[in-house]
Amino acid sequence: MVAKAHAKGFNDPRYKALIATLADTRRASGLRQVDFAVQLGRPQQFVSRYETGERRLDVVEFCDVAVALGLDPSKLIKAICE
C-alpha cells in the first residue's frame, strides 16, 4: 500500500482537523483555556499554543488532551488515517 502524499507538520489538513476537533470540543464543553490547562496540570500557554499551531502535540500529550475532553484518542486517530 502506498501512502498518500500530504503536507507536513502544522499545514497538514489532517493535523489541523485534529486540533480543531480538540479546540471545538473544549469550547463546546464551556471550558476556557485557563480552566482546561488547570485540569491538565499545564500552563494556559500550553493550550493556547497547540490550539493556534504555535506548537505541536506529541502523541502522549494528544492522548492526555483527548481523554480529558472525553474523547477516544484511538477513534480520532483512526478518522484521520482513513
Q: What is the pLDDT of residues 4-37, one digit of tens each?
A: 555 677 789 999 999 999 999 999 999 999 999 9
pLDDT, average across residues 72-76? 97
Domains along the chain with CATH numbers? 10-81 (1.10.260.40)
The grid coordinates listed for 55 are 506548537
- The pLDDT value recorded for residue 5 is 53
Task: Please count the CA atoms within 13 angstroms of the CA of 21 that sit on its side-chain side.
Answer: 20
Looking at every residue in the chain, the average pLDDT score rounds to: 91
pLDDT, average across residues 39-44? 98
74 burial class (0-12, 13-18, 19+ CB within 10 angstroms)? exposed
- The pLDDT value recorded for residue 18 is 96
Buried b / exposed e over 38-51, threshold 16 CB at 10 Å, is: eeeeeeeebbeebb
Given a cut of 50, whether residue 60 has pLDDT beyond it is: yes
CA angle 24–57–6, rounded 5-degree value = 85
